[in-house]
Amino acid sequence: NAGVTQTPKFQVLKTGQSMTLQCAQDMNHNSMYWYRQDPGMGLRLIYYSASEGTTDKGEVPNGYNVSRLNKREFSLRLESAAPSQTSVYFCASSGARAVEAFFGQGTRLTVV
């Protein structure tokens, strides 16, 4: 049972480059989320998808776009990476009546 799978685990980008972070869950969950984690800041919600076909902005959406490709997959795209986007990115999912959010292993992104 894989749970929530994120790829890649590590990435280094140059300023201005673009990339897509992939996330897939195999728990048939309706809701999926992208968070970023910075030292001393906790986890901040970037975007979320309450159900397949819908996406919404979280606390810190600027510089990001998302796609809910199907019920399983939710990707996060950085169109023009900036050093301020250096962070650890976590994808998470939760079910319609599930109490908890399940997190992926994280993607450590460095923008130089």
Partner 1 sequence: GQQVMQIPQYQHVQEGEDFTTYCNSSTTLSNIQWYKQRPGGHPVFLIQLVKSGEVKKQKRLTFQFGEAKKNSSLHITATQTTDVGTYFCAGNRNTGFQKLVFGTGTRLLVSP
Minimum Å gap between C-beta 112 and partner 1 is 22
Task: Indicate the pairing of strand 31-38 with strand 19-25.
Answer: unpaired
Residue type, 55: T
Minimum Å gap between C-beta 17 and partner 1 is 25
Per-residue binder mask for partner 1 (CB under 8 A), 25-64, x = binder: ------x-x-x----xxxxxx--x-x--------x-----
- For the chain, what's the residue count? 112
Minimum Å gap between C-beta 100 and partner 1 is 4
Burial of 18 (0-12, 13-18, 19+ CB in 10 A): exposed
- CB nearer to partner 1: give 14 or 99: 99
102 binds partner 1 (CB under 8 A): yes
User: Which residue is listed with tokens 């996060």?
Assistant: 76
User: Which residue is listed with tokens 């994120």?
Assistant: 6
- CB nearer to partner 1: give 19 or 50: 50
